């Protein structure tokens, strides 16, 4: 395992450093703070995020698209903590929301941010549409003809004009988990691209709608830029056809989906990857005179977060070894839901000399929930770990807390935002009283 700064594939949000208290063993830090200290202060399980890493990755993403008119609309579903949204809003970021609740989070952070909000999702309710119309969001991404009719009716009753883009389904395959692939006709998302022009024509006849753009999103956790390039070729072709039909297309929403290297952090650094991604998107759009909307989420916040957990017990069943930790699938669902890989490292480094001696063991890292599917890793080789030791589940800044639940009546973890040498609680740890408050 790595015992120094992590390599170029990931930002240096979490790294080992010796401290006066740690004697000869380096401790894992977030920015300038040792995770052992955070665990002592705030308990475990604990989500820890690096504000400096979020800023760095946001600036890198913005810089890659500097040659074109664009707005980065951070995907709120990746991590919707209000403090993280506020941090991004202060950087001038827009937002991609998929529910009325996410829109309300953005409005609580900054009412003015609504003008840079795109509202996506296949099942917008009339109440959500009315709230978005009242907030004057930048764009509604429409996913079906039925939704188009519902929005037109809501806008007419509110005496407003809704700016719309049709989310087209380009039928482009992407190598990712089938649960997070969205760009094929077999998926519930979007309108088949070949059916878009007739629907745009019908929409142009509705006075409460303002055709403003074309939208697309082919999935999440995509590592190869080729599917993005193929998608943009099809979107560019459609945009030219729509412009020839007389529609004023101001925006092309390219969606999100750029992945992060959970399992193999080697390879190009983030700036190189985003530059390649930017070139793949921008090249097909040259000459179209459109404003590009981008919806990154995971690639901004994923590597900026870790889930801190403590080993409760070591257990052996025959030849099988287990580390039972105090975090569980209700805290981080991705391994159970997707069989997703997260690197797991000890907070107290075993030291380079021990690592060279290969003092390790193969274990399953599991939680306390009464489900066989409650695991973070299976047959994972880790340095020998003792009861009471701290582990960090890395790259947990995206789709961690937002997917958390109270299964087994487990209170959700606290969240801490670290910025240099300072830290603050950005979500307090839940109590049992919180969980039963609404019940009778």
- Lookup: tokens for 163: 């700016």
Residue carrying structure tokens 């929409």: 203
Cis amide prior to 135 (ω within 30 degrees) = no
Sign of CA dihedral 413, 418, 423, 424: negative
Between the alpha carbon of residue 351 and those of residues 17, 209, 264, 415, the distances in Å are: 11, 63, 22, 29
3-class DSSP assignment, residue 376: strand
Q: Strand 291-294 to strand 422-427: parallel, antiparallel, or no bridges (unpaired)?
A: unpaired
* Cα distances (angstroms) measured from residue 356 to each of 19, 348, 363: 22, 16, 19
What does each C-alpha distance from 412 to 192, 263, 396, 417, 428 come to in angstroms?
A: 40, 26, 15, 16, 9
Tokens 């579903």 correspond to 77
Helices within 245-351 (DSSP H only): 270-285, 298-301, 334-338
Query: Is residue 370 among the annotated active site residues?
Result: yes
Helix 82-90 × helix 100-109 angle, to 10°: 60
Do residues 151 and 137 touch, judged by C-beta distance below 8 A?
Answer: no
Contact 233, 189 (CB under 8 A): no
User: Which of 427, 75, 401, 111 lies closest to 255, judged by CA?
Assistant: 75
With beta carbons less than 8 A apart as the criterion, state whether 168 and 147 touch. Answer: no
Show the DSSP H helices in 316-361 as ranges: 334-338, 352-356
Contact yes or no for 360/381 (Cβ under 8 A): yes
The catalytic residue among 73, 154, 299, 370 is 370
Phi, psi of 151 (to 5 degrees): -65, -40
Distance from C-alpha of 418 to C-alpha of 413, rounded to nearest angstrom: 16
Separation of first and last alpha carbons in the chain: 50
**Which residues make beta-bridge pairs with 322?**
315, 364
Give yes or no for a contact between 97 and 116, defined as CB atoms under 8 angstroms apart.
Answer: no
What positions carry a catalytic annotation? 370
């Amino acid at each position: 395992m790595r015992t120094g700064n992590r390599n170029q594939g990931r930002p240096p949000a979490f790294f080992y450093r010796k401290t006066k208290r740690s004697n000869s063993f380096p401790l894992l830090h977030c920015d300038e703070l040792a995770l052992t200290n955070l665990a002592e202060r705030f308990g475990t399980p604990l989500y820890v995020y690096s504000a400096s890493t979020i800023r760095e990755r946001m600036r890198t993403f913005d810089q890659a698209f500097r040659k074109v008119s664009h707005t980065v609309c951070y995907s709120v579903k990746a991590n919707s903590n209000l403090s993280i949204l506020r941090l991004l809003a202060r950087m001038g970021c827009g937002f991609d929301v998929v529910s009325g609740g996410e829109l309300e989070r953005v409005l609580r952070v900054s009412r003015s941010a609504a003008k840079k909000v795109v509202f996506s999702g296949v099942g917008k309710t009339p109440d959500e549409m009315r709230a978005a119309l009242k907030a004057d969001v930048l764009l509604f991404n429409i996913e079906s003809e039925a939704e188009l009719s519902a929005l037109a009716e809501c806008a007419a009753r509110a005496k407003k004009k809704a700016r719309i883009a049709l989310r087209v389904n380009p039928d482009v395959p992407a190598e990712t988990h089938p649960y997070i692939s969205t760009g094929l006709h077999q998926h519930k998302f979007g309108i088949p691209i070949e059916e878009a022009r007739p629907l745009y024509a019908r929409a142009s006849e509705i006075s409460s709608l303002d055709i403003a753009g074309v939208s697309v999103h082919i999935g999440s956790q995509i590592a190869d830029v080729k599917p993005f390039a193929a998608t943009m070729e099809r979107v560019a072709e459609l945009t030219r056809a729509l412009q020839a039909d007389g529609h004023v297309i101001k925006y092309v929403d390219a969606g999100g989906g750029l992945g992060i290297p959970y399992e193999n952090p080697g390879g190009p650094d983030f700036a190189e990857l985003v530059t390649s991604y930017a070139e793949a998107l921008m090249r097909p759009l040259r000459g179209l005179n459109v404003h590009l909307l981008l919806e990154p989420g995971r690639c901004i916040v994923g590597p900026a977060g870790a889930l801190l957990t403590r080993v409760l017990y070591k257990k052996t069943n025959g030849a099988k070894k287990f580390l039972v930790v105090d975090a569980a699938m209700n805290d981080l669902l991705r391994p159970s839901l997707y069989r997703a890989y997260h690197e797991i490292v000890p907070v107290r480094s075993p030291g380079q000399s021990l690592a060279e001696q290969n003092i390790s063991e193969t274990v399953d890292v599991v939680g306390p929930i009464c489900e066989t599917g409650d695991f973070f890793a299976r047959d994972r080789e880790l340095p020998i770990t003792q009861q009471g030791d701290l582990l960090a589940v890395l790259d947990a800044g995206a789709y961690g807390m937002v997917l958390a639940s109270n299964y087994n009546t487990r209170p959700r973890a606290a969240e801490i935002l670290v910025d240099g040498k300072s830290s603050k609680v950005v979500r307090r740890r839940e109590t049992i009283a919180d969980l039963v408050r609404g019940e009778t």
